[in-house]
Structure 1
Amino acid sequence: MTRHTTRMLIIGSGPAGLSAAIYAARAGMEPIVVQGLQPGGQLTITTDVENYPGFRDVIQGPWLMEQMQAQAEHVGTRMMWDTIVEVDVESGPPFVARGDSGDEYVGDTLVIATGAQAKWLGVPGEEALSGKGVSACATCDGFFYRGKKVAVIGGGNTAVEEALYLTNHSEDVTLIHRREDLRAEKILQDRLFAHPRISVLWNKRVERFLGDPLQGGLTGLQLADTVTGEMSEFGCEGAFVAIGHAPSTELFKGKLEIDANGYIVVAPGTPKTNRPGVFACGDVMDHTYRQAVTAAGTGCMAALDAERFLATLEYVRNEQQAAAAE
């Protein structure tokens, strides 16, 4: 077992974690980033990225994360190929985390950037056609379906918001829901039903995504009627799975304040959790925006607040030592 120590320990290596690392490293904090099961986060499974500031042309998600990691390492970040399986946030600072490798990671501050994962249907064709007509983020990918027929799958706030957003790009948006009523807030439902570009298919469950990823991508959906069991096909060029996100917070349940949807609770407008010295950034605390650029912004905030926390902690310790010496 090896013990690694740092002034800032970052769990997660998506845009939030790497942005925190860049700012911390530039401040001389020699941060450690433990990359986790999906190094680079959700952008590593995103192909075309057209809305990240600074790039005129379409870029690739994996490439963007490679550039962020290279920058973080260049300014002094230590990247660890490990997955954290246990964290002690109650006894710190310092905070101790144990990796799947058996190594221990000790940080004077802890930044949680473990992200969230879109929930998928898990039906045939979904994985193969991901990025080829199937997406879990209309804000990210809707632009690529300008003028095309698209479907949104789901019945909660996320699905209704995605459908409304897609009307900016498509004149033919269909919401597909497995029940006969929506779970979304009434004000969102009212906007949905009043929109001339949106139609709704009730009591329909997606059984399969149709199409060939090598020959044009998605062509439609195979649907089952949840009342009669009757099978049908629905033609579309884009399908957005909008059944929610699952934040990666299992490690912190019972240790930090977590809301009813599983997101880490932070003080409004900050990345500060209910444990001094522990900060959360990116999709693990953001259930509203969930964009790479907003994740990066909160990563920056986490690093700056962690630096201020350490400065205050050092000042208090110095005062205590001076008082004890008198």
Structure 2
Amino acid sequence: LEPGSFTALLGPSGCGKSTTLAMVAGLLTPTAGDVRLDGGSLLGVPAERRPVSLVFQKPLLFPHLSVEQNVAYGLLARGRPRVRRRTGALTGTASRQEVVTQVEEMLERVRLGGLGRRRVGELSGGQEQRVALARALVLRPRLLLLDEPFSQLDADLRAEMRTLVRELHDEADLTTLFVTHDQDEAVELADTIVLMLDGRLAGAGAPEAFYTSPPSVAAARFFGATNEVAGTVVHGHFRGPGPLEPALRLPTTAPEGPAVLVVRPEAVGLGGDVPALVTATRFAGSDVLVDTTLPDGQCLRVRVPLGTRVAVGDRVLLALDPERCTVFAQEALR
């Protein structure tokens, strides 16, 4: 990870994302390989001594402590002043005021100013997750790890928390590794996406690259490129088994022979020269998804603007933009 970067570790459930995060945090020991930070190995460093903070799916707050005590907990555990049990006040050495100031400032940054004395049970789900975030950030970690921290929030709160996390990252110039199975979250938040499939690295790069030039058919499928057309590459042109005539000239070099063309629904339009039969339409908010069948039986999904006049049974002509198509050798499907 580049220093100061925001990287999303993206993939379906069970692919190994959280396991990877746990190894970085020191909660699991890898059976092979290494975990290195700034050139030094972390394998011999216990979790509590690593300059890393981890925020889990669930806030995991201490219910018997107040908001400010939860946030201060990590500082106290590192030898700062202790919490007096009866009153809940921060007491101890001369650094007491420093801890209080850091906690108050952090609560302001996560938009919980004035709520420091509240108990955890009085908070909403979004507020609890902000407390967990504040508790992680107040330690000023070299690396912030986020393990799907928004997965249990509703849609509006998720959007709000995404904005907050990115703002905090930019303000503090953090290096952040964010685990998610949500493509939209990864694209919105991250500078770089690392895609994991079945425990393996399936690609890494800028978010837009996974849409414009996916590294594999599997990656394209994960990002919703639902159109795959079988055919053959001949002299820089993609020829379908019948429907794609004239042949589609490819903007980049592709291996000769059997191939599959991958194209996203929004990269297919109406008014071209590829004949198709409309088999289904589905409202999708600001646009309409149109399923079509080519003469050879292959299917293409098209995304058209809302209000486009198209109905089941219509015969249409489709247009494919070669600049937005990716071609893989047929063997890549195996």
Which of the five TM-score ranges fits, normalised by the shorter chain?
Answer: under 0.3
Q: TM-score, normalised by structure 1?
A: 0.24
**Which structure would you say has the larger RCO, counting Cα contacts within 8 Å and 6 or more residues apart?**
1
| Structure exhibiting the larger radius of gyration computed from Cα positions | 2
